[in-house]
């Protein structure tokens, strides 16, 4: 099922499969900002990553003496969400635990994703609830892909810009795992990363503990920009396919993929979050077009 939202300048489309944002169009110019899932490059648009971000070592983890298996980025992106509300400029979709999740993830939960079209773009909010009787471990992340270029020119005319000066190292992601101990400095003047056809040849760019809360795509030809704003996320991924794919993902994460030296114990996983019974966790992001 698709849900269509609109308000003023922007219109959006959300799929109930995965609660995935599939379109954000500027109705004044006709510009589509969300990647349209061309399978010749990548067949998704903006998956929700839950209850893990990235991949597990051997796609497995251990908890309370048992072993479980989860695909990369978890199961939310392949799950059918219930449309709880949809009217005008906002919609709310929900996924709850049940027999279909219990064999992979032994926690009772509720996940609500709320989309609201705004004057400058769209907001996406996550509400994770522990509905069980024991401590719950989880991660949640965003994986929106944006068309590039979106304001004329070529790929090389665009750059990524952090909202604040950074002294971050890039962590490497190879064979679906963070490579322990391998880092490099790639940020130009503490703020920028230029796009080239070879930028993603060694996989996703992962940054830990960014100071920035705003992450922008800009170009050298005109002042048009696209910004992903957060309330603060402990990790950030930048990703695209190698060889000049016509999109880029800006991914605020509350969690990390396993590293090559991960133990496999869920409670010891780097970046893992926990919730007490009856409590909740809120996060999300905004896409702002200028």
CATH of the domain at 270: 2.70.98.10
For residue 64, which phi and psi values (nearest 5 degrees)? 55, 40
pLDDT given at position 27: 96
Are 284 and 124 in contact by the 8 Å Cβ rule? The answer is yes
Is there a contact between 105 and 68 (Cβ–Cβ < 8 Å)? yes
Helix (H) or strand (E) segment spanning residue 99 = helix 99-102
User: Distance between CA 47 and CA 72 in Å, rounded?
Assistant: 12
**pLDDT surpasses 90 at 7:** no
Burial of 253 (0-12, 13-18, 19+ CB in 10 A): buried
Residues 6+ apart with CB under 8 A from 175: none
Domain of 22 in residue numbering reads as 2-289
Q: How many residues does the chain have?
A: 290
Contact yes or no for 90/114 (Cβ under 8 A): yes
Beta-bridge partner residues of 13? 4, 23
pLDDT at 87: 87
Whether 236 contacts 156, CB under 8 Å = no
Whether the CB-CB separation of 111 and 101 falls below 8 Å is answered with: no
Comparing C-alpha atoms, which of 224, 217, 213 is closest to residue 290?
224
The model's pTM is 0.96
**Looking at residues 48-75, what average pLDDT do you find?**
97
Q: How many domains does the chain have?
A: 1
pLDDT digits (tens, 9 = 90+) for 133-182: 999 999 999 999 999 999 999 999 999 999 999 999 999 999 999 999 99
From 59, 56, 36, 31, select the one nearest 46 (Cα to Cα).
36
């Amino acid at each position: 099922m698709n849900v269509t939202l609109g308000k003023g300048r922007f219109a959006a489309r959300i799929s109930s499969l995965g609660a995935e944002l599939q379109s954000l169009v500027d109705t004044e110019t006709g510009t589509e900002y969300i990647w349209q899932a061309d399978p010749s490059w990548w067949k998704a648009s903006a998956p929700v990553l839950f209850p893990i971000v990235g991949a597990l070592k051997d796609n497995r983890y251990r908890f309370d003496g048992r072993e479980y298996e989860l695909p990369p980025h978890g199961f939310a992106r392949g799950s059918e969400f219930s449309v709880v509300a949809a009217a005008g400029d906002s919609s709310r979709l929900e996924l709850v635990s049940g027999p279909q999740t219990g064999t992979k993830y032994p926690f009772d939960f509720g996940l609500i994703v709320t989309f609201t079209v705004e004057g400058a773009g769209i907001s996406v909010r996550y509400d994770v609830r522990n509905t069980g009787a024991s401590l719950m471990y989880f991660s949640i992340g965003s994986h929106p892909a944006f068309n590039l270029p979106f304001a004329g020119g070529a790929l090389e005319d665009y750059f990524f810009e952090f909202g604040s000066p950074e002294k971050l190292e890039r962590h490497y992601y190879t064979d679906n795992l963070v490579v322990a101990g391998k880092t490099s400095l790639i940020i130009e003047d503490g703020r920028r990363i230029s796009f080239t056809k070879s930028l993603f040849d060694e996989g996703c760019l992962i940054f830990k503990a960014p100071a920035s809360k705003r992450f922008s795509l800009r170009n050298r030809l005109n002042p048009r920009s696209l910004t992903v704003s957060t309330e603060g996320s402990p990790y950030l991924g930048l990703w695209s396919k190698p060889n000049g794919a016509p999109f880029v993902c800006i991914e605020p994460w509350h969690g990390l993929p396993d590293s090559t030296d991960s133990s496999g114990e869920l409670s010891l996983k780097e970046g893992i979050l926990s919730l007490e019974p009856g409590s909740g966790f809120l996060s999300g992001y905004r896409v702002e077009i200028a």
